[in-house]
């Protein structure tokens, strides 16, 4: 089963940047999509924000 949510640790592994950077990216995506603090960010939303290909990101986070 593929994950549809992305977490700061995933962003850290994909980008090679810090986990703090991952949290900031998640926060920015939530602001753009008018999400509440408790709501999750999808892989699709992250791909749209970062410009990365969906398949590449899925492969990276699903191992």
- Note the pLDDT tens digit of each residue in 8-27: 999 999 999 999 999 999 99
38 pLDDT tier (thresholds 50, 70, 90): very high
Task: State the Cα–Cα distance between residues 63 and 60, nearest whole angstrom.
Answer: 6
Question: Looking at residue 37, what is its pLDDT?
Answer: 92
Extract the tokens encoding 4.
Answer: 């549809």
Single pTM value for the model: 0.91
What are the b/e assignments for 4-23, b being 16+ CB within 10 Å? eebbbebbbebeeeeeeebe
């Amino acid at each position: 089963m593929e994950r549809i949510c992305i977490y700061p640790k995933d962003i850290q592994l994909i980008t090679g940047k810090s986990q703090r950077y991952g949290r900031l990216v998640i926060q920015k995506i939530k602001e753009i999509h008018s999400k509440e603090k408790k709501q999750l960010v999808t892989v699709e939303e992250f791909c749209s924000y970062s410009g990365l290909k969906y398949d590449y990101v899925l492969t990276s986070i699903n191992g």
